């Protein structure tokens, strides 16, 4: 736990960017508020770790299973043509993956997604409807 880390503190800096959906095996799933890529989510490791190679093999495998599970739910919920995965973290060095649905007739098809286009935001009810759909397809116990 690092107090200055937004993923550890889970404070208003994180709330500004994303909405917590649920805990998974070793990570937490968030809906990204900027929705230029409809269904975009973030999967953040629960422990404060900077690099995948710093993780024990078992944790790394569980994290990958969490990501795969989220991607499968996104596919069922939003029917994208492809899902992109990205791990950056220069300024937020706590392992987290952007899980980004892409659509053939949508933005940046065939290219890298824009990290923060800062133009597509929804009302709370629409975020809630998306979250309910994701939860349904995550098949949580």
| Nearest distance in Å: CB 54, Zn ion | 13
Of residues 94 and 133, the one with the C-beta less far from Zn ion: 94
Q: Do residues 103 and 120 make contact, with C-beta atoms less than 8 angstroms apart?
A: no
Question: Is 99 strand, coil or helix?
Answer: strand
Tell me which stretch binds Zn ion (CB under 5 A): 19-27, 72-80, 93-101, 115-123: 93-101
Give every CB contact of residue 91 below 8 A, 6+ residues apart in sequence: none
**10 scored as a contact of Zn ion (CB under 5 A):** no
Burial 100-118 (b: 16+ CB within 10 A, else e): bbbbeeeeeeeeebeeeee
Instruction: Give me the phi and psi of 64, to 5 degrees please.
Output: -65, -40
Of residues 14 and 77, the one with the C-beta less far from Zn ion: 14
**5 scored as a contact of Zn ion (CB under 5 A):** yes
Tell me which stretch binds Zn ion (CB under 5 A): 22-30, 40-48, 54-62, 133-141: 40-48
User: 22, 23, 25, 48: which one contacts Zn ion (CB under 5 A)?
Assistant: 48
**8 scored as a contact of Zn ion (CB under 5 A):** yes
User: 94, 106, 122, 133: which one contacts Zn ion (CB under 5 A)?
Assistant: 94
Q: Which two tokens stand for residue 93?
A: 């060095």
Beta bridge partners of 29: 22, 43
Q: Which two tokens stand for residue 3?
A: 């107090």
Of residues 35 and 59, the one with the C-beta less far from Zn ion: 59
Q: Which residues here bind Zn ion, judged by CB under 5 A?
A: 2, 5, 7-8, 48, 94
């Amino acid at each position: 736990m690092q107090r200055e880390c937004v993923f550890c503190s889970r404070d208003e800096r994180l709330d500004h960017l994303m909405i917590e959906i649920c805990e998974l095996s070793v990570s937490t799933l968030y809906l990204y508020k900027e929705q230029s890529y409809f269904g975009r989510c973030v999967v953040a490791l629960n422990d404060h770790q900077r690099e995948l190679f710093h993780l024990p093999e078992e944790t790394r495998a569980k994290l990958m299973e969490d990501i795969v599970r989220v991607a499968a739910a996104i596919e069922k919920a939003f029917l994208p043509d492809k899902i992109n995965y990205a791990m950056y973290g220069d300024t937020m060095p706590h392992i987290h993956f952007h899980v980004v649905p892409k659509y053939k007739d949508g933005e940046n098809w065939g290219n890298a997604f824009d990290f923060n286009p800062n133009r597509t935001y929804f009302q709370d009810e629409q975020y809630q409807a998306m979250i309910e759909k994701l939860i349904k397809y995550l098949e949580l116990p």
